[in-house]
Structure 1
Amino acid sequence: MKKIIILAAAISGSVVFAQEKKSDTIKTKSIEGVTITKQVFKKQSDRFVYDVAASPVAKGNTTFDLLKQTPLLSSTDDKTLKIAGKNNALIYINGRKTNMDAESLVQFLKNTPAENIQKIEVITVPGSEYQVESSDGIINIVLKKKMSDGLSGNMRMSNSQNKYNASSAAFSVNYRKDKLGISANLNGGESIEAQTYTLRNGNSLSSNESKGDINDPNKNLGGYLNIDYQLTDNSNLALTWNTWANRSYNSTVDLYNTIRSYDADSKDYIYNYSNSKNNENSRSYNNSLNLNYELKTDSLGSKLNLNAAYLNYKRFQYTDNRTLLPDTSGNYTLPGRQVIQDLPQIINNFSGMADYIQKFKNDFTVSVGGNYNKTKTDNDTKNYTYEFDKKGQPIKQKPEPNHFIYDESIYGVYLTLEKKFSDKLSGKVGTRYEITHSLGTSDNAPTADLQRIERNYNNLLPYLSLNYAINDKNNISYAFSSRMRRPSFWEINPVRNILTENNYTQNNPFVKASSTYNQELTYMYKNSYFLILNHSYFKDVITQVPLQRDILKPRIDAQGNPVTGPDGNPIMDPHTQLRYIRTNFGDKQEMSAMVGIQKSLFKQYWTTNFNIGAQHNINNGSLSIDPTSGDVFPTYENKRRSTSIVIQTNNTIRLDKKKTWFAGVNYFFVDKQQIELGVLRNLMSLDLSLKKIWNDWTFALNVNDVLKTNIIEIEDYQDNGNYNYIHQNRYNRGMTLSITYNFGNQKVKKVRDIEGASDAIKSRTR
């Protein structure tokens, strides 16, 4: 049911502290735990640096919890991370992009202890050397350096209680002997993602309301194996294997539908009722293999990096969507319609990447590199629709298979020049040039336009940053970048994900890449106080657009029989049909201003980071035709503006002199604002925690969304009279108890973290 749920991507795309579903991808590395004696937050060149080397915030926490409490970072859905003013955050470890799909990333971060983190770097405007899309920012986790040989590891177990109970466990081990380093991790968990929906849309003549529950059980198992060998004093060879498996069987949708239509003869409304009962079984597998070679060419830090990688992603999804009608007793037992879908997706990617960094003695650095990605996705979809007669017998309709194959090749090269002109002034300028060729073919497309879709485009993406240290206390910097966002592979697979008979999402093979232009001005005082001004312009925004229209359907009586008029012909009533279409939807601008503080007070008994800011959104989109079918709808427009306030604060309070008891108080507030689907009402959450550190053990209790205020509510009213309302309760209020144990020689040197050549593809698999 993950893509049937229309909100995750749409809601998060514009909210300052929410996330886009996308994704986001990561490479597995064991991140153990952290303790902070001194916290430092400062601006360095193109990034913010948060030193957490001995923080009680990190001790016993997961990596995900630690990142949520890092200045400028947050999460409103406890699944995805966002950098203030950015649509997405990519995770790097020791300067290397991680190597998992979005769902695997979340589980990995939540199951990995954070005790070996030295610092967290937040790169709000990445340079040309980074393979990022759209307005993505980067979170780089820098691990502590371990110097001695030996064996170390950690174990973590947790149990959570929201609407349903969930459990997880993780085991990590690191071994180093002379030139050989081995790192391995195994983690898994079991949970049920619960949601309650109210979906309401229509106009003065007809309307449709669906209310009910969605439950998505998940079992996850994953891990990694990294082998690093030092060939010579200046060269290393590394092999990395990441794997993840998810099983979601008996995922259910149970919605009661009320359909209202206007009868012109009686001058009154007629109501019809139905029950949508959907069941889905799905499983997915993600495996990637990466080979890396690194050669240091001089003592200044110049080096050559070569990567070759293979990625295989498989998802098998089987859905049974049923519409049930009430019988004479009012029980929903009469079959009205059934849609069975088989929706497999297989992705294979071969990638190569080469980077060379040349450093000179006069503080001048030249970086040059290139990458190649070859991706093929195979989507052999089968769709069977059954209508039923008045006796409940199925009338088999013609199957609707669609074998959609998508081939894509991307060539990219970049050049970056970085210069430190003086102790005060430094700058970086660069550009990335990308060539993309794609071909989508369909064996059984309903129209000729869908049978073959070929695209070729070239993009020149410039970058500039300047940093000026006015004095020891004041620092100012400016950055500009141009990026593009390619559609995710699931977005261009032309299938429907059905929620109810009249409400479904529609993917779109015609979606084209969008462009983004980012500017950011930052001022920092005493490495504790900061001001960030940001402007982003998005062209051809990829999003989900709600198109609705009235269609005529036969009137049905209480026994499920068609109602006829005096002339003997069936009486037709208007019904509201709603499609959420994936498409390019005009342009958008986001402007934001944020001030914040990160500081330790009262002899480090109280550590706080606090941000407050305003964001102004300008939307300019219009759509009236379903690009996949050509069906015409009343025009949906979003040419509205909104200004909203955002507040976030994270606080850690030390409760004793021995630094063994800690309390946490975290809060965020996102004011209402205009997004693509309408006006998103304000979101807020108060989270509390209590932690006890005892030798190598850490016991933690976390209570999230204490006030039960993190609930999504969206409403939209169009000038043509159509309206749309969404209420989604994700049961964010819950409690988690975790136990972490660290064992072995904690001075073990970590295995090198390697960026996979296929990492840029990972974020587009989900």
Structure 2
Amino acid sequence: MKTLNTKLFLGLSLLSGIYLNAQQKPKTDSAATKNIEAVTITKQVFKKESDRFVYDVASSPVAKGNTAFNILKQTPLVSSTDDKTLKIIGKNNAVIFINGRKTNMDAESLTQFLKNTPAENIQKIEVITLPGSEYQVESSDGIINIILKKKMTDGLNGNLRMGNSQSYYNSSYAGLSINYRKDKLGISSNINTSQNIQEQYYILRNGNDRFSNQSEGRVSDPNKNLGGYLNIDYQLNDNSNLALTYNSWANRSYGSTSNLFNTVKSDSAGINNIKYNYTKNLENSRSYNNSVNLNYEWKTDTLGSKLNLNAAYLNYKRFQNADNVTYGSNAFQKIGNRMVQITQSTPQIINNFSFLGDYIKKFKNDLTVSVGGNFNKTKTDNDTKSDTFIYNYDANGNLVSTIPSSNPNHFIYDENIYGAYLTLEKKFSDKFSGKIGSRYEITNSVGKSDNVDFSNIERNYNNLLPYVSINYAINDKNNISYAFSSRMRRPSFWELNPVKNILTDVNYTQNNPFVKASSVYTNEFTYMFKNSYFFIVNHSLSKDVITQVPLQREIVKNGVTTKELRYIRTNFGDRQEMSAMLGMQKNFFKQYLTTNFNIGVQRNVNNGSLNTDPITGDVFPDYVNKIKSNSLLIQTNNTIRLDKKKTWFLGVNYWYVDNQQIEIGYLKSLMSLDTSIKKVWNDWTFNLEIFDILKTNKVVITDQQENGNFNYINQNQYNHSVNFSITYNFGNKKVQKIRDIDSADKDIKNRTR
């Protein structure tokens, strides 16, 4: 269920910041094999450059027969805990770039694209932990830049991938990618589809020593997805290119259900009273994401100077209807009379126009000057309808009356963002280089609603965001670097829509149009030894952190005193994160074993308190989180080559996150052990993967306030799964990849999720 899974527990996304073409074949298969084996293996498979780590995939023995997604999971400082998303250790999110350009795809489509791209097409992967001022990323996002190999032959090639996964339910997926080049024209396309049912089990408990509520049960969310992209790139002349990119993604989730059995306990004058009820929620939703981007690139000299212009349009639509009913019940979960019914319609429509322009000027004295600007205009339309019916019965259980109430809210949000940046990058010598820059952003927004409380909410603010980095190679074995970055984190559009998402009649989430952007300031020091071992020290300060806060109080509902819990999306104080990470990327035993290993400690310092609902003004007992915690982080990815011909591979991966304090409570330790076996046979690759073998990837959060209030979350997403996939590569393997175009609306897309 989208509402329960995404909105209530979006705060758990903080965890992610902790982890960290059938034309003509080559003449013979043996010839192709010889070409691969002829590649010279260099020693610097992993190294530190000015503002980024560089993983030389072409020199790595794990690339053969792999996909781009799998090779990214084995890249140092990068991990995936769900086989769907990629994370950089110490970052909330990894933004994917290809050949220096932000991919113009939504998250689901991007995952399928990476899973259908052969790793043999990749030259190197760059991990930018602190992006410079020239990059439009928010908050503490990092960047993964994939550099593709350049191939000059005309023709057609492709990749077909099919897979099946068994978790709580069975799911399947398939994708087809093709790449065509003829003279000056390049066309790349992909279509992929999947269907799955995401099953989860929740235990939610809150209250104090006098009143408490517990909700326990299952959530089932069926999904059918269809998506794809089309890139058309035409070389106008030797110095300029024109490209058009179209991306589309559709999701349908009909029949999503949650069934929560509720236990309400109260203690009055020493008398214990226990009541039961049952809440059933049925939800149907569908969403569509379509975008188009036009790009022009002009190379102005032979040194690499160039002008880039992008214009993009994005249309996002989501339609969601839910029917939430609470019934009377007994201790044996036998359903009785209907007590409360809440029907909701929560559509959202987003339209965005974006423009982005960059000019990079390179000089002969190793000085690079980059200047650019962007403009984003966004309008969101949220026409929400909510109706509540309270059912009253006589002593014999006969329906006496139904009390209806309606709470519609039509919320329209307009936002304009203007940005400009300037960066100077200088290579002073073979050992010393540096970059300095700044981004200036102006944000003007207004929210209007039918509800008098939100009739006209204006947000106008300016931000100057400086950046600096220096890199010094002491000698051929030792390298040190330092970087400082400042970023903004704007709220997602759904966070601003003042709508309630009902869980039970006394438990709901509440979005907030008053949420303002937060600021993030980061310092990072890196030491690297022999291009294999690295040590990273990081400090991050977040001001006005955007999160959800559990406020609870005692209320009288239908003549009964009970506990009410509201998860309020709001700004909640400040947070500091300090970490020290020791890592290694190395090959052993003549490259039969390839391993990367990270171990580190992290200290979280939270400083937030709240006692008033910013939407209604209702006063609650204080919710305070001023707790410090220390935790241990471990991650290791290992690939073992099982034969001399490089056709059998065994993978063993493990990650562990220690207990730690986050915004909404104390997170119990998490870990996962995964393994895989891969067989490469000519153009075919067969892969069997097992995730969360020990079934230890479960979320448990506890929170105990000094005033006696407690909150408990137990979330089992059934991450234990078995996945089998078959990949077939066809066509001319020497086809040149076309340019992947940066989209002017890249930041807006991230905020639709």
Cα 1:674/1:78, change in 2 over 3 Å: farther
Within-5 A mapping of 1:562-641: 572-641=559-628
Q: Aligned partners of 2:235 and 2:333: how far apart in 1? A: 73
Contact 2:8 2:509 in 1 (8 A): no
Structure 2: segments with no counterpart, 5+ residues: 21-35
- SS for the counterpart of 2:708 is coil
Q: What is the CA-CA distance between 1:8 and the residue it aligns to? A: 4.3
- Is 2:175 aligned against 1:170? yes
Amino acid across the alignment from 2:500: R
What does the per-residue CA deviation read over 1:220-242, in whole Å, with 9 as the maximum and x for residues that have no partner?
00000100000010000000000
- SS for the counterpart of 1:603 is coil
Q: Aligned partners of 2:375 and 2:563: how far apart in 1? A: 46
Q: How many residues align?
A: 730
Amino acid across the alignment from 1:690: I
Cα 1:321/1:105, change in 2 over 3 Å: farther
Q: Aligned partners of 1:209 and 1:81: how far apart in 2? A: 34
Q: Aligned partners of 2:705 and 2:667: how far apart in 1? A: 15
- Is 2:300 aligned against 1:276? no
Contact 1:262 1:573 in 2 (8 A): no
Contact 2:109 2:228 in 1 (8 A): no
- SS for the counterpart of 2:4 is coil
Q: What is the CA-CA distance between 1:51 and the residue it aligns to? A: 1.4
Structure 2 equivalent of residue 3 of structure 1? 3
Cα 1:327/1:199, change in 2 over 3 Å: closer
Within-5 A mapping of 1:186-201: 186-201=191-206
Cα 1:176/1:366, change in 2 over 3 Å: same
Structure 2 equivalent of residue 24 of structure 1? none
What does the per-residue CA deviation read over 1:64-121, in whole Å, with 9 as the maximum and x for residues that have no partner?
3332221111233444322111122111111111223344444544555544222211
What does the per-residue CA deviation read over 1:444-502, in whole Å, with 9 as the maximum and x for residues that have no partner?
34x2xx11100100000000000000011110000001111110000000111111222
Structure 1 equivalent of residue 692 of structure 2? 705
Structure 2 equivalent of residue 347 of structure 1? 350
What does the per-residue CA deviation read over 1:633-681, in whole Å, with 9 as the maximum and x for residues that have no partner?
1010000000000000000000011111000000000001000111100
Q: Aligned partners of 1:329 and 1:508: how far apart in 2? A: 38
Cα 1:61/1:630, change in 2 over 3 Å: farther
Contact 1:533 1:592 in 2 (8 A): yes
Q: Aligned partners of 2:134 and 2:331: how far apart in 1? A: 67
What does the per-residue CA deviation read over 1:134-155, in whole Å, with 9 as the maximum and x for residues that have no partner?
1111111112212211100010
Q: Aligned partners of 1:328 and 1:351: how far apart in 2? A: 56
Structure 2 equivalent of residue 544 of structure 1? 548
Q: What TM-score do the two structures reach when normalised by structure 2?
A: 0.95
Q: Aligned partners of 2:120 and 2:718: how far apart in 1? A: 29
Greater Cα offset, 544-553 or 241-250: 544-553
Contact 2:423 2:438 in 1 (8 A): yes
Structure 2 equivalent of residue 65 of structure 1? 70
Contact 2:700 2:713 in 1 (8 A): yes
Contact 1:688 1:704 in 2 (8 A): yes
Amino acid across the alignment from 1:220: N
Cα 1:178/1:679, change in 2 over 3 Å: same
Cα 1:106/1:194, change in 2 over 3 Å: farther
- Is 2:739 aligned against 1:755? no
- SS for the counterpart of 1:220 is strand
Structure 1 equivalent of residue 440 of structure 2? 433
Structure 1 equivalent of residue 319 of structure 2? 316
Contact 1:247 1:282 in 2 (8 A): yes
Amino acid across the alignment from 1:240: T
What does the per-residue CA deviation read over 1:525-573, in whole Å, with 9 as the maximum and x for residues that have no partner?
010000000000000000111111111134xxxxxxxxxxxxxxxxx44
Q: Aligned partners of 1:654 and 1:354: how far apart in 2? A: 46
Structure 2 equivalent of residue 286 of structure 1? 289
Q: What is the CA-CA distance between 1:378 and the residue it aligns to? A: 0.3
Q: Aligned partners of 1:721 and 1:276: how far apart in 2? A: 27
Greater Cα offset, 59-68 or 670-679: 59-68
Q: Aligned partners of 2:532 and 2:443: how far apart in 1? A: 43
Contact 1:18 1:81 in 2 (8 A): no
Greater Cα offset, 497-506 or 587-596: 497-506
Amino acid across the alignment from 1:375: T
Q: Aligned partners of 2:403 and 2:151: how far apart in 1? A: 66
Question: Which residue among 738, 747, 762 is the counterpart of 2:725?
Answer: 738
Question: Which residue among 400, 407, 412 is the counterpart of 1:405?
Answer: 412
Question: Which residue among 658, 666, 669 is the counterpart of 1:679?
Answer: 666
Structure 1: segments with no counterpart, 5+ residues: 20-33, 555-571
- Is 2:719 aligned against 1:726? no
Q: Aligned partners of 1:548 and 1:327: how far apart in 2? A: 25
- SS for the counterpart of 1:408 is strand
What does the per-residue CA deviation read over 1:337-387, in whole Å, with 9 as the maximum and x for residues that have no partner?
111000000000011111000000000010000000000000000001111
Contact 2:555 2:562 in 1 (8 A): yes
- SS for the counterpart of 2:405 is coil
Within-5 A mapping of 1:138-287: 138-264=143-269, 267-287=270-290
Identity score, percent: 69
- SS for the counterpart of 1:490 is helix
Q: What TM-score do the two structures reach when normalised by structure 1?
A: 0.93
Amino acid across the alignment from 1:278: N
Contact 2:276 2:330 in 1 (8 A): no
- Is 2:93 aligned against 1:88? yes
What does the per-residue CA deviation read over 1:725-749, in whole Å, with 9 as the maximum and x for residues that have no partner?
1111000001000000000001100
For the aligned residue pairs, the C-alpha RMSD in angstroms reads 1.7
Q: Aligned partners of 1:86 and 1:701: how far apart in 2? A: 29
Contact 1:677 1:716 in 2 (8 A): yes
Contact 1:491 1:509 in 2 (8 A): yes
- SS for the counterpart of 2:748 is helix
Contact 2:494 2:511 in 1 (8 A): yes
Question: Which residue among 475, 490, 505 is the counterpart of 2:509?
Answer: 505
Contact 2:116 2:159 in 1 (8 A): no
Cα 1:330/1:79, change in 2 over 3 Å: closer
Structure 1 equivalent of residue 482 of structure 2? 478
